[in-house]
Structure 1
Amino acid sequence: MTHPVLSNPLRPAILAAARSSRVRRLVTTAPPTRRLVDRFVAGDSLPAALAVAEGLLASGRAVSIDHLGEDTLDPDQARVVVDEYRALLAGLGAVRERASTVFGGDPAVEVSVKLTALGLSLGADGPRIALDRARAICSAADTAGVWVTVDAEDHTVTDDTLQIVRELRRDHPWVGAVLQAYLYRTEQDCRDLAGAGSRVRLCKGAYDEPAAVAYRDRADVDESYRRCLRILVKGDGYPMVASHDPAMIALTDALCSEAGRGPDRFEHQMLFGIRDREQLRLAGAGRRMRVYVPYGSQWYGYLMRRIAERPSNLRFFVRSVLGRD
């Protein structure tokens, strides 16, 4: 899940640092970093992630669990990722059975999957490899009674990602797709994916995309998000509104009310560690509220995108490093 873009003037430099092996070593070995990681990541291990999921479900919120990792160029590592998801799904199946439902008859538990972690970038055969491994994860999810959403990544893999989603939906029509509002193409993608039963998570976007393919100004991104949201709400699918922005949350409720969408026909989504009180308020008001919960040791890229998105996250990180938090 990706959220507010371009609100941090240092964002380009931070995202460049995310690609630097030298900065990665510095950040990942600094003891204060752990304090920021713990704010946004549900631990390094599967048991830690399951414990967080169980707590969120008990509070009336649903969950989407993501095993962190992307840009896998090692076939053996891609197989390890599939094995981790199988273990995660088995654990979530047990959590789901113990937790009271918060979404009526729909799964309150899902996993989010990045296709580059499954081998999408492994040359010409990458899309086939990623599809086969995503199918294995979806079959395991079926057994566990858990949904799967295929996450968005940078624009260079968007076509392959959406094609794989279409292929997965042949056997698993509940598979979710993620669209990023800052891409120029996303309005048309929303129209294409707004059909009956189609679950679509709409987020703003957090990758450092060029002006040739994406809006760079925050106001333009916000306006694109509004246009895309209207398309999804007017369609026949199931919008998953991934935003922490109070204006977008209010607009969602207004548009859904105008379209006659009851609270069981859309959901709000937010990131673990961000706006916890607002998450609880929405859940308490009878809204479907799902929390995106990442876990695992490959947290560096995810953490840097969170820092890049919001100046408050950067301030929190600096205070932690200086020992002032």
Structure 2
Amino acid sequence: MVFRRTVLAAAGSGRLRSAAEGSGATRALAGRFIAGETLDDAVRTVRALAAAGLSATVDHLGEDVDHPARAGAVARAYGVLLERLGEEGLTGTAEVSVKPTAVGLGLGGEGEALAEENIARICAAAEEAGTTATLDMEAEWTVAPTLRIADRLRARHPGLGIVLQSRLRRTEDDVRRYAALPGARVRLVKGAYAPSPDAAHRTRGAVDAAYVRCLHTLMAGPARPLVATHDPRLIAIARTLALRHGRAPGDHEFQMVYGARPAEQERLAGLGERVRVYVPYGREWYGYLLRRLAERPAYAAFAARSLLTRS
């Protein structure tokens, strides 16, 4: 947990960010987890995944925007992305994921309303293109406003998905509420951010146990579980629970990040499971990369060595 918090703290360091973005070795490492910096890179990756029998959710990287104009620009970028996916015939297998802070959530007292307005535009663009959007969950302070936005928008855009983090103690209550909503798309993750100790389970075992309890609730209800994990034990448990509750592969799915366990992604797809790959792209890749490194210490050590060598 100490290692994880240290790496996540580095995500907020401007000095380290500049060093990372200037390091060829770190950029090469980022290429393992990020489709690229351009829209063409994202489309090419989604097309390749579709050819391999895998679905995708595409994230236009960026978060914590500092001005309403930037938040609007991100929303417009999603509109362009969705239009392109539709033109390429890829919306049958691809959706989008949106970070609320990328579209204005953190911009003071008006941030929640601004984010809701921008997310509504993205939902409308997704529906026009023939697909859906999912609201990513970010730092602890964003949870309540993100769920409020989702609750209001789902009345008009019922396909809007949400993400819940088993690391947070409140999540089991949230899961019970959303699991009871027919067709609600709920992505269950462990959580890639560092919450306050009192709000979170403090050990890996406790986080995993909470994840399993949430899986039980989701699989038993009428919602659509989106099981986001790379953990072989949790994948096996999820498949067992799906079978126990009579779920066909089409009414739940497994989700993994781009670059993580690609052989397992293809294995699950080969077994008839629906597998969706989280595909990030864009120039704002530093924070995303740090969260992936926090989950994989060996990669973090490699990145640290490359930065020290450069300096």
What band does the TM-score fall into relative to the shorter chain? over 0.9
Q: Does 1:193 align with 2:182?
A: no
Structure 1 vs Structure 2: percent identity of aligned residues? 46
* Separation (CA, whole Å) in 2 of partners of 1:306 and 1:258: 32
Q: Deviations over 1:183-224 (max 9, x none)?
A: 000000001111101000000001111111011210100000
Match of 1:203 in 2: 189
Distance 1:316 1:277 in 2: 23
Which one has the bigger helix percentage? 2
Q: Distance in 1 between matches of 2:189 and 2:212?
A: 11
**C-alpha offsets along residues 69-104 of structure 1, whole Å, 9 cap, x if unaligned?**
111121111111011101100111123x2x5x9xxx
- The answer on 1:29 being equivalent to 2:54 is no
Which position in structure 2 is the counterpart of 1:267?
A: 253
Match of 1:134 among 116, 119, 129: 119
Q: Deviations over 1:16-38 (max 9, x none)?
A: 11111111111111121111011
Question: Matched residues in 1 for 2:308 and 2:173: separation?
Answer: 46
Please tell me the residue identity of whatever aligns with 1:21. Answer: G
User: Where do 1:124-273 residues align within 5 Å?
Assistant: 124-194=109-179, 195-273=181-259
Matched-pair contact (CA < 8 Å) for 1:82–1:137: yes
Secondary structure of the corresponding residue to residue 183 of structure 1: coil
Secondary structure, in 3 states, of the residue corresponding to 1:301? helix
1:308 aligns with 2:301: no
The answer for unaligned runs of 5 or more in structure 1 is 1-5, 102-106
Amino acid at match of 2:204: R
Residue 41 of structure 1 corresponds to 34
Match of 2:68 among 70, 75, 92: 75
Residue segments in structure 2 that go unaligned for 5+ positions in a row: none
In 2, the alpha carbon distance for the partners of 1:58 and 1:45 equals 20
Q: 2:59 aligns with which of 48, 66, 69?
A: 66
Following TM superposition, by how much is the alpha carbon of 1:155 offset from its aligned partner in structure 2, in angstroms?
Answer: 1.2
How many residue pairs end up in the alignment?
Answer: 308
Counterpart amino acid of residue 203 in structure 1: V
Deviation at 1:252, TM superposition (A): 0.5
State the 1:318 CA deviation. 4.8
Q: Partners in 2 of 1:322 and 1:35 — Cα distance?
A: 16
CA deviation map 1:146-195 (0-9, x unaligned): 11000001110111100111111111101100000000000000011111
Amino acid at match of 2:148: Q
CA distance 1:206–1:44, shift in 2 (3 Å): same
Match of 2:99 among 100, 114, 121: 114
- TM-score, with length taken from structure 2: 0.96
Of structures 1 and 2, the one with the larger relative CO (CA 8 A, separation 6+) is 1
Distance 2:28 2:57 in 1: 22
Q: 1:137 to 1:44 in 2, by over 3 A?
A: same
Letter in structure 1 aligned against 2:93:
A
Are residues 1:317 and 2:303 paired? yes
Distance in 2 between the 1:304 and 1:232 partners? 30
Q: Distance in 2 between matches of 1:216 and 1:77?
A: 36
CA contact (8 A) 1:36 1:320 kept: no
1:266·1:288 contact (CA, 8 Å) conserved in 2?
yes
Code of the residue aligned with 1:308 in structure 2: it is A
SS in 1 for 2:278: strand
CA shift, 1:315, in A, is: 3.9
